[in-house]
């Protein structure tokens, strides 16, 4: 007999209106125990509204939300001690050190016996334990925020955009911490703009746009089921390359470093393009063929980019 799946979060027909705006519009999904679930979407998609309804901060307009088997609108007192939350744009007291901050929050959240040193080590802040909050970089502040979210040894951790605004290196360092949580078997509910983050960390990704979930699956499956093309990248110093591909009826896009990206359907197309290049005397510096990534899946499904600067999009809100 197969074991019944244990859902830690159950969301059924959830809607939240702010006046006339349906910020979250009739969404349903479940999150399994021990999985990392990512809500991926651009600015204003409804991510924070959804998270903050699940973690009992906001109230829904309609629909049912159960967390750890309890109705979030009725059992806040029982739920809160069992969850951890890193709110979007977290900040703390400027002149208090990392260690003191952890002591403060552990007392506030009822856990005098929290193993603060272990948590500081878990987020790699040992060297900064005596540093004041205001002297921490953005990435270090976010890591402290994650440690605070873990102070009550929660069963479910909610992280609302833990890496937004961080540089790529700081983002990677936060990912290391999140991978540690995943390996420790915590259930993590994450929101993000970043498809690499969802691809790397999440077992399940729900793509949200304008309050609707438009696709939901594992990252690999999302790409597989939406990838009806390949991206061929050609690098050449010869400016003729673009015209050669364009004249063949493909729609090449110029990217930086003299590269052009071409959507192709298979190896036949690739062969034809390479032959045409050779016939035109265009020499190539490099060639690369990839499946679309989640960013491109998102673009295809919504026509919107996930965040400003994402390739090919119209830009977020």
Rounded-to-integer distance, Cα 87 and Cα 91, Å: 9
Which of 116, 73, 307, 68 has the alpha carbon at shortest distance from 198?
Answer: 307
Two tokens at 214?
A: 């438009």
* Contact status: 209 vs ligand ATP (CB under 6 A): no
Hey, what are 187's tokens?
A: 């259930």
235 makes contact with ligand ATP (CB under 6 A): no
Closer CB to Mg ion, 48 or 56, in the complex: 48
Tell me which residue of 65, 51, 32 sits closest to 161, measured CA to CA: 51
Nearest to 242 by CA among 225, 227, 259, 221: 259
Rule CB under 6 A: say whether 45 interacts with ligand ATP.
yes
Residue given tokens 């909050």 in the structure block:
133
Instruction: Assess 44 for contact with ligand ATP (CB under 6 A).
Output: yes
The correct pick among 61, 88, 97, 218 for binding ligand ATP (CB under 6 A) is 88
Q: How many CA within 13 A on the CB side of residue 20?
A: 0
Q: Is 132 in the site for Mg ion (CB under 5 A)?
A: no
Site string for Mg ion, 30-59 (x = CB under 5 A): -----------------xx-----------
Q: What track of x and - describes contact with ligand ATP for positions 115 through 154 (by CB under 6 A)? A: ----------------------------------------
Span of 17-25, 122-130, 235-243, 279-287 interacting with ligand ATP by CB under 6 A: 17-25
Per the CB < 8 A criterion, the answer to whether 2 and 27 are in contact is no
Cβ closest to ligand ATP, residue 46 vs residue 219: 46
125 with 177: CB under 8 angstroms?
A: no
Q: Is the dihedral of CA 102, 107, 110, 112 positive or negative?
A: positive
Residue 128 vs 193, nearer CB to ligand ATP: 193
* Residues in contact with Mg ion by the rule CB under 5 A: 47-48, 88
* Residues in contact with ligand ATP by the rule CB under 6 A: 18, 21, 23, 41, 43-49, 88
């Amino acid at each position: 007999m197969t074991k019944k799946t244990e859902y830690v979060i159950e969301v059924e027909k959830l809607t939240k209106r702010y006046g006339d705006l349906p910020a979250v519009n009739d969404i349903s999904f479940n999150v399994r125990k021990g999985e990392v679930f990512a809500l991926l979407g651009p600015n204003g998609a409804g991510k924070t509204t959804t998270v903050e309804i699940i973690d009992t901060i906001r109230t829904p307009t309609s629909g049912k939300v159960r967390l750890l088997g309890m109705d979030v609108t009725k059992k806040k007192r029982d739920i809160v001690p069992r969850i951890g939350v890193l709110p979007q744009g977290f900040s703390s007291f400027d002149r208090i050190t990392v260690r003191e901050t952890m002591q403060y929050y552990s007392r506030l959240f009822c856990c005098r016996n929290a193993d603060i040193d272990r948590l500081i080590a878990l987020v790699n802040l040992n060297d900064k334990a005596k540093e004041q909050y205001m002297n921490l970089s953005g990435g270090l502040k976010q890591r402290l925020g994650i440690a605070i979210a873990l102070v009550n040894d929660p069963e479910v951790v909610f992280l609302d955009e833990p890496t937004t605004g961080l540089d790529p290196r700081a983002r990677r360092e936060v990912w290391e911490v999140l991978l540690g949580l995943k390996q420790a078997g915590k259930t993590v509910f994450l929101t993000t703009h970043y498809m690499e983050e969802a691809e790397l960390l999440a077992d399940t990704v729900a793509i949200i746009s304008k309050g609707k979930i438009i696709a939901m699956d594992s990252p690999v499956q999302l790409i597989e089921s939406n990838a009806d093309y390949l991206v061929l990248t050609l690098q050449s110093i010869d400016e003729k390359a673009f015209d050669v591909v364009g004249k063949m009826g493909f729609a090449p896009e110029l990217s930086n470093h003299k590269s052009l990206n071409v959507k192709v359907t298979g190896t036949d197309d690739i062969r034809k393009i390479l032959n045409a290049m050779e016939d035109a005397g265009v020499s190539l510096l490099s060639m690369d063929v990839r499946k679309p990534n989640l960013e491109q899946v998102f673009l295809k499904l919504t026509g919107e980019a996930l965040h400003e600067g994402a390739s090919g999009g119209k830009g977020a809100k």
